[in-house]
């Protein structure tokens, strides 16, 4: 039955029957869905006859639906285009190697931030068209800095040790914590190790790289020092994270650029914020003041309509500078398409941030992000590290922490 179903679709394609509709799955109506709708409008001038249906699903639902269908070998009901988070992409591409359509040659990979290419590719073949960036920055309260005797220059291109020392003075002068942290979310660790070109896995994307990982060891040490220095306001969910900076309780936010609209939501703080590059890991010559947190890319499933889907992506997300300008002006969404960064939308001076051209700065930092292979098991390993981080904070030796985490990861990841 499965063979019959598969051959039926192939015969339709082979007979020349024209596919008149493609479907897209994505999450977040205010960001990804909105961007896809703008792309759909832009593509109408290229091919007005192609119907493009955009369907919203929660990210977890997309993951579940893809795994269920692809593991069973059925493609019925699957979309032509699907959005997949970069941290998860390799698990799909390697688990279902014949299910995704190659995009190699349909767009110029050199036009995109290079850190996006590894997670969206297998070997020399491109399967994902890079979309948004999780390029990070340090959002900082300039008024709190001034109270402690500092300027924005003093927090520009610093390392985490310098950040901690400045944080102590800020807390002494203002009574404010420097940063919020959720003990069940190690996003900060991810940012730190990628800034040094390291990851939880070795370059093969499957072998755990925890024991003896000097970058990870230093990242854990910084995390502990932040807490031991009483610079951290603990939070347990997204709403508490937002409240931390919107209420003025913390002096800085170190995360992906997608937090910008949330920072600007508290209009009374306009003019009191700046954005600088995130701190680098101290005493690590390969660590830079640039990293990534999050981000996703578009994939085409190898089903009828794949050629139309590729053409649509190539002529929109793959090459349309004006479209990326619209992403910025209408959504506040930054892509990873480098030619777009020279457009006027990226040069806008944001009065909330004291007239700073924050999009141009983020774009510059994105080009410096070290490229790593996120591999197959980012979240599985992080579940282990969340527990071991608590053991470390309670006094367990760091080498034992990472050695035990390595053993657990090797046992769980086959």
> Are 385 and 189 in contact, with CB atoms under 8 Å apart?
yes
Residues 333 and 274 in one domain: no
pLDDT tens for the chain, 414 residues long, are: 333 333 333 334 433 456 689 999 999 998 999 999 999 999 999 999 999 999 999 999 999 999 999 999 989 999 999 999 999 999 999 999 999 999 999 999 999 999 999 999 999 999 999 999 999 999 999 999 999 999 999 999 999 999 999 999 999 999 999 999 999 999 999 999 999 999 999 988 899 999 999 999 999 999 999 999 999 999 999 899 999 999 999 999 999 999 998 999 999 999 999 999 999 999 999 999 999 999 999 999 999 999 999 999 999 999 999 999 999 999 888 999 999 998 899 999 999 999 999 999 999 999 999 999 999 999 999 999 999 999 999 999 999 999 999 999 999 987
- Give the DSSP H/E element, type plus range, for residue 137: strand 136-141
> Are 37 and 93 in contact, with CB atoms under 8 Å apart?
no
Residues 39 and 124 in one domain: yes
* Domain total of the chain: 2
> Are 121 and 97 in contact, with CB atoms under 8 Å apart?
no
User: So what's the pLDDT on residue 413?
Assistant: 87
Which strands make up the sheet holding 51-56, listed edge to edge? 51-56, 21-26, 81-85, 296-300, 128-130
CATH number of the domain residue 217 falls in: 3.40.190.10
Residues 151 and 63 in one domain: no
User: So what's the pLDDT on residue 87?
Assistant: 95
Residues 323 and 281 in one domain: no
Instruction: Give the per-residue SS3 of 4-54.
Output: HHHHHHHHHHHCCCCCCEEEEEECCCCCHHHHHHHHHHHHCCCCCCCEEEE
Q: How many angstroms separate the CA atoms of 49 and 336, rounded?
A: 29
Residues 389 and 333 in one domain: no
Class of residue 380 by CB neighbours under 10 A (exposed 0-12, middle 13-18, buried 19+):
middle
Residues 146 and 283 in one domain: yes
Within a domain: residue 1?
no
Within a domain: residue 5?
no
Residues 154 and 272 in one domain: yes
Residues 270 and 186 in one domain: yes
Its domain, for residue 271, covers: 136-291+371-412
Residues 205 and 273 in one domain: yes
Within a domain: residue 48?
yes
DSSP for 257-299? GGGHHHHHT-GGGTTSEEEEPPPBPTT-TT--S--B---EEEE
Within a domain: residue 224?
yes
Residues 142 and 130 in one domain: no
Contacts of residue 25, defined as CB under 8 A and 6 or more positions apart, other chains included, come to 55, 57, 62, 65, 79, 81, 82, 83
Residues 287 and 307 in one domain: no
User: So what's the pLDDT on residue 333?
Assistant: 84
Q: How many angstroms separate the CA atoms of 290 and 268, rounded?
A: 29
Within a domain: residue 352?
no
Q: How many angstroms separate the CA atoms of 26 and 281, rounded?
A: 35
Within a domain: residue 355?
no
Q: How many angstroms separate the CA atoms of 101 and 81, rounded?
A: 10
Within a domain: residue 226?
yes
Within a domain: residue 192?
yes
User: So what's the pLDDT on residue 394?
Assistant: 97
Task: Give the CA angle between residues 123, 129, 134 to the nearest 5°.
Answer: 100
Residues 180 and 109 in one domain: no
Q: Are strands 273-276 and 51-56 parallel, antiparallel or unpaired?
A: unpaired
């Amino acid at each position: 039955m499965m063979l019959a179903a598969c051959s039926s679709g192939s015969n339709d394609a082979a007979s020349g029957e024209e596919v008149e509709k493609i479907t897209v799955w994505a999450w977040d109506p205010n960001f990804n869905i909105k961007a896809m709708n703008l792309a759909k409008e832009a593509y109408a001038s290229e091919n007005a006859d192609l119907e493009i249906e955009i369907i919203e699903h929660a990210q977890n639902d997309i993951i579940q639906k893809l795994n269920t269908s692809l593991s069973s070998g059925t493609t019925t009901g699957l979309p032509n285009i699907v959005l997949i988070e970069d941290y998860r992409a390799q698990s799909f591409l390697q688990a279902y190697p014949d299910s995704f359509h190659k995009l190699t040659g349909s767009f110029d990979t050199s036009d995109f931030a290079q850190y996006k290419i590894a997670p969206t590719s297998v070997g020399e073949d491109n399967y994902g068209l890079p979309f948004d960036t999780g390029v990070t920055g340090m959002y900082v309260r300039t008024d709190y800095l001034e109270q402690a005797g500092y300027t924005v220059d003093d927090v520009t291109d610093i390392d985490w040790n310098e950040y901690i020392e400045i944080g102590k003075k800020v807390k002494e002068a203002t009574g404010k914590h420097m940063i919020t942290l959720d003990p069940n979310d190690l996003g900060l660790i991810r940012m730190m190790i990628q800034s040094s070109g390291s990851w939880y896995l070795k370059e093969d994307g499957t072998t755990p790289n925890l024991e003896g990982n000097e970058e990870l060891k230093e990242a854990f040490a910084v995390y502990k020092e932040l807490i031991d220095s009483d610079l951290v306001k603990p939070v347990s969910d997204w709403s508490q994270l937002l409240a931390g900076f919107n209420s003025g309780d913390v002096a800085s936010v170190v995360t992906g650029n997608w937090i910008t609209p949330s920072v600007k939501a508290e209009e009374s703080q306009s003019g009191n914020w700046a954005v600088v590059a995130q701190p680098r890991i101290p005493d690590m010559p390969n660590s830079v003041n640039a990293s990534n947190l999050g981000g996703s890319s578009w994939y085409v499933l190898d089903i009828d309509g794949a050629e139309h889907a590729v053409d649509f992506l190539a002529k929109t997300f793959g090459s349309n500078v004006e479209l990326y300008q619209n992403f910025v002006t209408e959504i506040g969404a930054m892509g990873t398409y480098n030619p777009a960064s020279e457009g006027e939308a990226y040069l806008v001076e944001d009065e909330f941030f004291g007239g700073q051209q924050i999009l141009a700065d983020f774009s510059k930092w994105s080009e410096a992000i070290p490229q790593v292979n996120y591999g197959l098991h980012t979240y599985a390993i992080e579940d282990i590290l969340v527990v071991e981080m608590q053991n470390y904070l309670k006094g367990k030796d760091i080498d034992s922490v990472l050695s035990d985490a390595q053993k657990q990861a090797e046992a769980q990841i086959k």
